[in-house]
């Protein structure tokens, strides 16, 4: 991975080929590479489209949604920073239609598939009925260099951010902690950023996604969830992701290693943003539990003397016009309206 990072930081890209998209009203051509194979034509317009790819790292077909600045084709010499936006569970890239994501003329936004319950990690067990599940390899070793090779990006840490919703909030912190050399900014929007025993409810929600417990998960999900047609099939063992989740005789040590709340020191020098509500007091709403997780992480950062941007919008009454404090897109749209201008400022400074 380290060697690959060195290569991708030096990429000048094949972005010249991508200029054809703007004049034709079609998405720009994107060349296969870095283990990704496109298996269907790109869908959408020149600045908002998605690809369908396969990779040996993760079983199945996967969408990658790309949003380009409206002026991308006007200046063929201009390069852009990139926001990698990670969706929640059991959602998918094409449904990430927050207006705020299309508001920036200063950066490219890339939304890769994270699966219904991929958890933005390389699973411990690769021999489950779900097939290969190396999501971290897919995103960091393949998607990032693929984007840098095909689009006019600024391929540096300074010009790269990772943010996510719910499960994607975990992914954003996890990726930035595992590879701080890749990202200068990270943000969690109602994220599962504490998987320690202090937030055992969130750990067990992750386990429920593995074993196909849709009844438990529907209240916590960030996408549409129908218990009768569970998106969490096929069921796999509770240990498939990070080994045993149970804190007995240190059996859960892999969960602790992956838990963002324990490793906030790894984000030193990286801009950290956290957004959360209180679920409006509804205990069956995921936000009710995620607020506690966010507070735990804030306490850890305070103890470390770390700077951060922290917004607890409570019941949402003062957070835009669409937010009710619960685990839904109305609140995340407002989060993004706050986050994106701040990222633009950080990228431009």
126: CATH: 3.40.50.1820
Per-residue pLDDT, averaged over 259-272, amounts to 97
Task: Pick the closest to residue 83 from 266, 339, 329 (CA basis).
Answer: 339
The answer to which of 1-10, 40-49, 213-222, 340-349 has the lowest mean pLDDT is 1-10
Among the listed residues 339, 215, 190, 191, the one whose alpha carbon sits nearest the alpha carbon of residue 177 = 191
Give the strands of the sheet with 108-112, arranged side by side: 37-44, 48-55, 58-67, 108-112, 82-86, 160-165, 185-189, 271-276, 309-312
- C-alpha–C-alpha distance, residues 122 and 111, integer Å: 18
Place of tokens 């951060």: 308
The pLDDT score that the predictor gives to residue 220 is 56
Report, as an integer, the average pLDDT of 61-69: 98
Lowest mean pLDDT among 14-23, 120-129, 301-310, 322-331: 14-23
User: Domain count of the chain?
Assistant: 1
**Which structural domain, as residue segments, surrounds residue 163?**
2-348
Mean of pLDDT values over 116-124? 97
Instruction: Measure the CA–CA gap between 48 and 26, rounded to whole angstroms.
Output: 10
């Amino acid at each position: 991975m380290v060697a690959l990072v060195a290569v991708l930081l030096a990429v000048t890209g094949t972005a010249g080929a991508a200029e054809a998209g703007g004049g034709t009203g079609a998405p720009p051509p994107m060349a296969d590479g870095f283990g990704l194979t496109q298996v269907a034509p790109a869908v959408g317009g020149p600045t908002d489209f998605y690809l369908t790819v396969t990779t040996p790292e993760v079983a199945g077909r996967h969408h990658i949604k790309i949003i380009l600045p409206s002026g991308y084709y006007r200046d063929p010499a201009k390069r852009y920073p990139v926001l990698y936006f990670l969706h929640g569970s059991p959602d998918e890239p094409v449904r990430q239609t927050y207006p705020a994501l299309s508001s920036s003329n200063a950066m490219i936004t890339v939304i890769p598939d994270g699966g219904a319950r991929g958890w933005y990690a390389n699973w411990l067990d690769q021999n489950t009925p779900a097939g290969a599940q190396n999501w971290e390899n897919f995103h960091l070793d393949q998607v990032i260099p693929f984007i840098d090779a095909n689009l006019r990006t600024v391929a540096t840490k300074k010009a790269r951010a990772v943010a996510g919703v719910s499960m994607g909030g975990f992914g954003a912190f996890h990726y930035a902690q595992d590879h701080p050399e890749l990202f200068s900014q990270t943000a969690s929007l109602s994220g599962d950023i504490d998987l320690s025993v202090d937030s055992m409810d969130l750990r067990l929600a992750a386990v429920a996604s593995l074993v196909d417990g849709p009844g438990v998960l529907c209240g916590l999900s960030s996408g549409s969830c129908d218990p009768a047609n569970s998106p969490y099939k096929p069921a796999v063992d509770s240990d498939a992701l990070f080994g045993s989740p149970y804190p007995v005789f240190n059996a859960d040590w892999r969960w602790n290693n992956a838990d963002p709340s324990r490793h906030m020191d790894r984000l030193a020098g990286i801009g950290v943003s956290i957004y959360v509500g209180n679920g409006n007091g509804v205990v069956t709403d995921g936000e009710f539990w995620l607020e506690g997780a966010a507070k735990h992480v804030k306490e850890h950062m305070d103890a470390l003397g770390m700077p951060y941007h922290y917004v607890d919008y409570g019941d949402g009454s003062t957070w835009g016009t669409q937010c009710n404090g619960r685990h839904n897109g109305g609140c995340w749209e407002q989060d993004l309206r706050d986050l994106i201008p701040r990222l633009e400022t950080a990228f431009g400074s």
